[in-house]
Amino acid sequence: MAGPRSIGNMDSTNGTSYVNRELSLLEFQERVFALATTPDRPLLERVKFVAIVSSNLDEFHQVRVAGLLEQASGGVTKSGPDGLTPRQQLVAIRERIIELNSEIDRLFMDDLRPALAVEGIEFATYDTLGPDDRESLDTVFEEEIFPVLTPLAVDPTHPFPFISDLSLNLAVLLEDRDTKSRQFARVKIPPNVPRLIPLDDGRRFVPIEQIVNNHLGRLFGGLDVVDSTTFRVTRSADIAVEEEEADDLLQAMESVLRYRQRAAQAVRLEVESGIEDNVLALLLQGLQLTSDEVYTRNAPLGLSGLWSVYGLDRPGLKDPSWTPTTQPRLAESGGRTVDFFTELQKGDILVHFPYESFATSTAAFLAQAAADPDVLAIKQTLYRTSIPDDPAIGGEEAVVRTLIEAAEAGKQVVVLVELKARFDEAANINWARMLESAGVHVVYGVQGLKTHTKTLLVVRREKAGIRRYSHVGTGNFNPNTARIYEDIGLYTADEDVGADLSELFNHLTGYARPASYRKLVVAPHFLRSTIVERIREQAALGADGHILMKANHIVDTEIIDELYAASGKGCHIDLIVRGNCSVRPGVPGLSETITLRSIVGRFLEHSRIYRFGVPGSTAIYYIGSADMMQRNLNNRVEALVPVTDPRLKSRIEEVLEVEMADDVLAWEAAPDGSWSKVTSDNGIDTHQRLLDLAADRARGKVPYPS
């Protein structure tokens, strides 16, 4: 194993049995950033990972840092399970982020930008441009930028303006030519104009803030511009809805979103290096921040804007394109379209995204259900409908359109839209309005809980009577994320699963509270206890016990304690965790039999798979929407479904075996909370290996596991 990649203090344990979840999440960002530092990765893919990490750090401040600041300012001094108080966490987080920012800035300025220039993609500076280029940008400024600029003065008669979340701004210091008195103004860079303005050749770009900065004289006639600097503000994205007091949750969410836009507390100030002390002091005073919330950057602010560079049509600088294959049982034969209902009556079907196609599985299943005259009802959950900061990725429009068509065809269509999905609230509200106007029954879940489960139920009239067809998955019903997120979906005509989904939807849309479910494992009522029971069953087997958990996050201390107890009895435990994990693996007397690894690469590992028992047909396998976090287990509606078909178990086991053998994308955690890149001996890249397997199966070269 390679040595640990050290950014700041990697020991996140503080002498306790748990790694701090916030610092663990930052370690995940460091693993993602490491992808941008890999020289043999295609250049625009490296740029993409800088954009991803920059966007992730924005969200980290909006949510995680904002919550800690609120606790600290509220006088909370109690330490969490990891032994750190809110204030101690903020100090450790700041140290780590300063280090990470420094590495991001250095990589972009000293490595990526020169490498892009070699490929003819240049970030030009305004002062180095020739007369023709300047004239071109002058025209862009006059015609597209100047009309939407609004300079705001700050003085005794003009209070400090509200600075919107993640907006790019210029702090301008002005001097009166007659009185020599100095004044301060703020200019907001218009968010509806591209961040990087292309020159006529389409290969060179100039940041919009440079163009505005070089035309400030047009905004402040009669005054001299003494100094100007770029700054960026991050605000809290935490919102709360008093559902018990809200007669209309939709209207309440709209009000909260307006509040977030206008009044959320500032939590971070990013400034250019070289900012004048008096200008910084004025910004801090106006934003009610301290120097602890200031981050000075050497690279352009807001590198999430690099998505526009990644969007360039330069296939030679990106990963080879991939066209998802069709799951063999869903492939057309002899020109005939697959009948999903007939096929599911033969047995369950498992689909693995992005290796296999969303269009020929979930979308086709839904489309057939919408068009089939024998289908009586379609019930579905919608959680996340868009991804911020990536203009190339859209939402679930195709799925929503199909549901609308089904309603217009006279079917009973019920859609549960989760309005409280963070950062997708506005998009979800729009979809809810559209669905309602088409006659779809739209509901917003259970009071006090987020509905996170990924479920679809189709009810059909057949000769033998009413039959239910179900889909339970690990990912959202989104055709675009299905091309970049790794997820698993189970399609089944199992009557018990269908009956359970009927019970679950009745619970979500009405007042029914099932005492139990036949096969589904549902939170918040049954999931925690079931997982604990399964862990204890394996613990009782001692060294013959086996547990594997593949999840996005594992931070729930009760579940972790159960894993520690099982390890103490000799049970073998393998954890594959993409994001934050509070488990300390390999600690003598605590977790000696626990291994912890993370796969970070081309695709976002998103599936949740839980296996209890020795790999094979006798083991119990679950897939579903739930991570091992308190919020998932206690405060969300989640569902896991057992995979019982031996063929499908073998398929899942194949995926797990590849991920456990990976030595290209894999990282492993040490007892102190640090992460190290696995030494590459065999060259097993999970994503490439699974792409190759999917391609070979589509050509008939490799059979499915059986």
Please give the structure tokens belonging to residue 54.
Answer: 């920059």
Question: 17, 581 in Cβ contact below 8 A?
Answer: no
Residue 317 has φ and ψ, to the nearest 5°, of: -105, 15
Burial of 255 (0-12, 13-18, 19+ CB in 10 A): middle
CB atoms near residue 672 (< 10 Å): 14
Please give the structure tokens belonging to residue 629.
Answer: 């976090």
Residue 176, C-beta contacts closer than 8 angstroms, at least 6 positions apart: 182, 183, 222, 223
Q: In what order do the strands lie in the sheet with 196-198?
A: 122-123, 204-207, 196-198
Burial of 130 (0-12, 13-18, 19+ CB in 10 A): exposed
Please give the structure tokens belonging to residue 23.
Answer: 């610092």
Residue 338, C-beta contacts closer than 8 angstroms, at least 6 positions apart: 329, 330, 331, 332, 364
HEC per residue, 405-432:
HHHHCCCEEEEEECCCCCCCHHHHHHHH
CA angle 34, 39, 44 (to 5 degrees): 85
CA angle 314, 125, 283 (to 5 degrees): 110
- From the DSSP assignment, how many helices (H) and strands (E) are in the chain? 20, 27
Q: Is 452 a catalytic residue?
A: yes
Which residue has tokens 């900012």? 275
Instruction: Collapse the DSSP code of 630 into the 3-class scheme (helix H, G, I; strand E, B; otherwise coil) and give the result.
Output: helix
State the Cα–Cα distance between residues 594 and 567, nearest whole angstrom.
7
Please give the structure tokens belonging to residue 395.
Answer: 């939402």
Question: 585, 671 in Cβ contact below 8 A?
Answer: yes
State the Cα–Cα distance between residues 372 and 341, nearest whole angstrom.
10
The CA-to-CA distance between both ends of the chain, in Å, stands at: 34
CB atoms near residue 217 (< 10 Å): 11
Question: 444, 419 in Cβ contact below 8 A?
Answer: yes
Question: 24, 581 in Cβ contact below 8 A?
Answer: yes
Catalytic residue among 61, 158, 215, 452: 452
State the Cα–Cα distance between residues 364 and 446, nearest whole angstrom.
29
Please give the structure tokens belonging to residue 702.
Answer: 């490799």
State the Cα–Cα distance between residues 450 and 672, nearest whole angstrom.
34
Burial of 623 (0-12, 13-18, 19+ CB in 10 A): buried
List for the chain the helix, strand, coil content (%; round to 5): 40, 25, 35
Known catalytic residues? 452
